[in-house]
Amino acid sequence: MSKIQKIRGFQDIYGENAKKYRHVVDTFREIFELYNFKEIILPYVEDISLFKRSVGEATDIVQKEMYVFVDKGGREVALRPEGTASCVRAYIEEKMYAEGGYHKLFYEGAMFRYERPQAGRYRQFHQIGAEIFGVSSVLADAELISMVDKALKTLNINFKLEINSLGDFQSRKIYTEKLIKYLKSYENHLCETCQKRIDLNPLRVLDCKVESCKEITKDAPKITEFLSEQSEKRYLQLKEYLKALNVEFVENPRLVRGLDYYTDTVFEFTTDEIGAQGTVAAGGRYDNLVEQLGGPPTPALGFAAGIERLILLVKDLPKEKPLVAVVPLTSDYNIQALNLSNSLRNNNIKSETMLKEGSLKSMLKTADKLKSDYVIFVSDKYELKEMSSGQQEIFYNPDDLIDAIKGKI
């Protein structure tokens, strides 16, 4: 029979990688909790116009990367390519703004983009991210960035933080005109994609990875030279706050991000340890997006981290509980073994009932394959064997046995 394979760009995450996945997610979740973020569990499928109107018609995501289909009811829908748009939709649709105060949300899960698969770039990938709605103060920008910084430090990852300000819409408009003029004078030397970007999405040219484009944009006008007074003040304040929080950063005036909705603060956490796809987390402020999607004017900001890329960087995992295998000497002792495993688990001890019946020798071999730290042979008594030392002890009462194991682990 021919084998069925997974779809290109999709992955099975299992074994050690699944542990790393969980470790990354748990670490972020614990930190979100400390910062008082609340979870939101969002749909994977949304009306396609949500992404057109937020991520932007001219972006790579909307132009060519979305998984789009018509459902049986004739709705044009998309598998979500990112999480912010859905968060904003929910914020508006669930009228969270009506509760007053401000809102801090986090989400986690799969995203879908029809990109060219390569190391660190998949068609289904996972993000963990957070958003703050209803705060314009730069305090929020500083806390959000330092929260991501803390999470990555907790994960023991080497990274660099780059920040920039894109200014408000007004500063950006003036800058964009200058940039277009500059790019037009080098048009023939830009890559084909960037030639199209000049009119469609000129800022994106600054983000191009093609060498010749990088060379040209090196001397392009810098956005930070065109910031309005207020945007400039915000940017200075952000840097001051980050320094106060001991968050190390470098300014990168070419940092623009690939999505349309950003204003003022943008940032990227990058690493050079996983090849070309080095951005592990990124985000920024998007003060116009809520209104743009039909909500009340609401300043907002957020970030998303790419879990697959973090998995590539995580080296140490939290220590696991030791494993105790329970092996009935003969099938006459199966029920006794089932019960003992249960008691062990009730005492918070990780236990594996030997499910593969066979000779004592083969069961011991299986216990070893399962990486058991201890094996208990069950008969009219209990023989506890420590696998590392080979040391054995005999017990006649399960309570004494469990107490002894508790003492060891």
The answer to whether residue 304 forms part of the interface with ligand ATP (CB under 6 A) is yes
**70 vs 60: CA distance, rounded Å:** 21
The answer to whether residue 137 forms part of the interface with ligand ATP (CB under 6 A) is no
- By C-beta, is 293 or 401 nearer to ligand ATP? 293
Structural tokens at position 98: 């009506």
Quickly tell me which residue has 């994609």 as its tokens.
Answer: 193
**35 vs 149: CA distance, rounded Å:** 13
Contact, 290 vs 278, CB < 8 A?
no
Among 37, 122, 186, 241, binds ligand ATP (CB under 6 A): 122
- By C-beta, is 28 or 125 nearer to ligand ATP? 125
Q: For residue 232, give Cα distances in angstroms to 93, 161, 241, 285.
A: 33, 20, 14, 14
Among 104, 285, 309, 385, binds ligand ATP (CB under 6 A): 309
Among 155, 216, 266, 280, binds ligand ATP (CB under 6 A): 280
The answer to whether residue 386 forms part of the interface with ligand ATP (CB under 6 A) is no
- Type and span of the H or E element at 78: strand 76-79
Among 162, 308, 352, 373, binds ligand ATP (CB under 6 A): 308
- By C-beta, is 82 or 352 nearer to ligand ATP? 82
- By C-beta, is 163 or 349 nearer to ligand ATP? 163
Quote the least distance from Cβ 210 to ligand ATP, whole Å: 14
- Amino acid 98 reads A
Quote the least distance from Cβ 409 to ligand ATP, whole Å: 37
The answer to whether residue 256 forms part of the interface with ligand ATP (CB under 6 A) is no
A 10 A CB-CB count for 7 gives 9
The gap from C-alpha 121 to its chain's centroid, in whole angstroms, comes to 13
Question: Residue 400 in 3-state DSSP?
Answer: helix
Among 306, 312, 327, 349, binds ligand ATP (CB under 6 A): 306
Segment interacting with ligand ATP (CB under 6 A) among 26-34, 37-45, 219-227, 280-288 = 280-288
The answer to whether residue 83 forms part of the interface with ligand ATP (CB under 6 A) is no
* Dihedral (CA of 69, 73, 76, 82) sign: negative
**Helix then strand then coil, % of the chain, to nearest 5:** 40, 20, 35
- Amino acid 14 reads Y
Contact, 284 vs 203, CB < 8 A?
no
Quote the least distance from Cβ 280 to ligand ATP, whole Å: 5
Segment interacting with ligand ATP (CB under 6 A) among 29-37, 176-184, 226-234, 273-281 = 273-281
Q: For residue 217, give Cα distances in angstroms to 182, 194, 202, 226, 254.
A: 9, 11, 11, 16, 8
| Closest residue by Cα to residue 275 from 115, 113, 119 | 119
The answer to whether residue 82 forms part of the interface with ligand ATP (CB under 6 A) is yes
**26 vs 5: CA distance, rounded Å:** 30
| DSSP per position, 24-59 | HHHHHHHHHHHTT-EE----SEEEHHHHHHHT-TTS
The answer to whether residue 127 forms part of the interface with ligand ATP (CB under 6 A) is yes
**250 vs 24: CA distance, rounded Å:** 25
- By C-beta, is 159 or 374 nearer to ligand ATP? 159
Quote the least distance from Cβ 341 to ligand ATP, whole Å: 40
Residues 6+ apart with CB under 8 A from 185: none
The answer to whether residue 125 forms part of the interface with ligand ATP (CB under 6 A) is yes
- By C-beta, is 122 or 226 nearer to ligand ATP? 122
The answer to whether residue 109 forms part of the interface with ligand ATP (CB under 6 A) is no
- By C-beta, is 277 or 339 nearer to ligand ATP? 277
Residue nearest to ligand ATP (CB): 306
The answer to whether residue 164 forms part of the interface with ligand ATP (CB under 6 A) is no
The answer to whether residue 11 forms part of the interface with ligand ATP (CB under 6 A) is no
Structural tokens at position 269: 């956490």
Segment interacting with ligand ATP (CB under 6 A) among 39-47, 121-129, 234-242, 390-398 = 121-129
Residues contributing to the site for ligand ATP (CB under 6 A): 82, 113, 115, 120-122, 125, 127, 257-258, 277, 279-282, 304, 306, 308-309
